[in-house]
Amino acid sequence: MDKFVIEGGVPLKGEIRISGSKNAALPLMAAALLADGKTTLRNIPALHDILTFNNVMRVTGARVEFEAASETLTIDPENIYYPEAPYELVRKMRASFYMLGALLGRGGYARVSLPGGCAWGPRPVDLHLEGMKAFGANIRLEEGYVVAELPEKANGLSGGQYKLSPSSVGATVNLLLATVKGTATAVIENAAKEPDVVQLCHFLTQMGANIDGIGTSTLRIQGVSSLKGVTFDNAPDRIETGTFMILAAMHPESQLTLTNTAPDDLGFFTDWFRKTGAEITIEGSSIHLKAPQTIQPVSVITEIYPGFPTDLQAQWATLMTQAEGESHVTDTIYPDRFSYVPELARLGANIKVRNNTAVIKGKTPLSGTSIMSTDLRASVSLVMAAMCASGRSEVLRVYHLDRGYARLEEKLNQAGARITRVNGDVEEA
């Protein structure tokens, strides 16, 4: 497995281009299977999760071509003949579970393995299944697989209403995919309003779907007989944007410009960021950042969009280790998402977890050492801490990073970081 060797204590200066969003791209890819023709998606990052989902789609018979250099993905579903997503692929990333809605919506039958993904937290799929049942699908579990199909002699789902409790991006996506084709009307209440869901709705309507309430918590879907293939541009990654914003604030001499961003997709995050004392100027799709001389402690509580994102809480806690005073980071979305805390402590952070809250006492000097992570966002938080630490650090298991951050070390090194990727660490005997 690869690792990063990081020489810390250097500011970031220059410009970084934000990649397309992985979390937004995956629903688009699944939705492309509903079309009668070929779809071309642009601004698709060359990430391990994207490559994995390409293979998931290929299993069904779909033709998938990805040009990493141009970040262009072409999906032709004409020859889908095998409506199944196997365990050996789905276990690698839970977003593969979107195949359930896509295959059910396309052909009335899907057999999809229960998902895997990051090694933390219970993230059940009950809402996905109960919603599909409410809209008329027959659901059964079969040796670790979910089988979803239309009732005998039915021409499509029967529709109806279903309220998500709690709101869920994944369940909203899967229910959209399952219901946009057909003759029935389906209403999703308490639907997720994240930019990823809004983009998916716009993509589906461009394909010919009939969806009312886009951007609100109530989506009304009137099924249509067919969808067409289109060309569509994926949105910039708001989590990558937020990650680099936080990183820019951690060294008092850092001045960084982020390009190809979507500032409006950040929700209220920008307001919290300004409270740290960092300077931020937004010009179109560019964000100019200047680090504060003294980082102010700012406590946050994760919430559904447009609240503080759970995918930025580990990065925020890392920033707060360098703030002058005590702060709290509470995760109400995934209460046990704190696997990074012991590793930050190894670097010298004064941070403890109480229930679903990290209590951070700063400012603490960080010193380089070897650290290891267990999930995507924890990995990047440890890279950030190592960049702030004095001396040399090793961040192990960076394959987690490759799932969600495109060319991370390349981008950061262009802005002055000193990160080397080393092949084949063997720390896990």
| Annotated catalytic residue within 118, 249, 329, 385 | 118
- How far the first Cα of the chain sits from its last, in Å, is 12
- Given a contact cutoff of 8 angstroms between Cβ atoms, the answer to whether 223 and 235 are in contact is no
Residues 6+ apart with CB under 8 A from 4: 383, 386, 394, 395, 398, 409, 419, 420, 421, 422
Binding site feature residues for phosphoenolpyruvate: 22-23
Q: Which two tokens stand for residue 283?
A: 């010009």
- Answer yes or no: 201 catalytic: no
Name the E strands within 100-254. Answer: 109-113, 138-142, 145-149, 160-163, 185-189, 210-212, 218-222, 231-233
Write the DSSP string, 351-381.
EEEETTEEEEE-----B--EEE-SSHHHHHH
Q: Quick one: 124 exposed, middle or buried, by C-beta within 10 A (0-12, 13-18, 19+)?
A: exposed
Q: With the C-alpha atoms ordered 201, 214, 103, 85, is the resulting torsion angle positive or negative?
A: positive
Category of 89 on φ-ψ map: left (φ > 0), alpha (ψ -120 to 50) or beta: alpha
Is-contact 156 183, C-beta < 8 A?
Answer: yes
Task: Compute φ and ψ for 67, nearest 5 degrees.
Answer: -105, 100
- Is the CB of residue 336 less than 8 Å from the CB of residue 121? yes
**Which backbone phi and psi does 387 adopt, to 5 degrees?**
-70, -25
Query: Is 338 in a helix, a strand, or coil?
Result: coil
Reading the block at residue 419, the tokens are: 């990160």
| Numbered residues of the known binding site | 22-23, 94, 123-127, 311, 333
Helices marked H in 60-141: 87-90, 98-107, 126-134
Q: What are the residue numbers of the active site?
A: 118
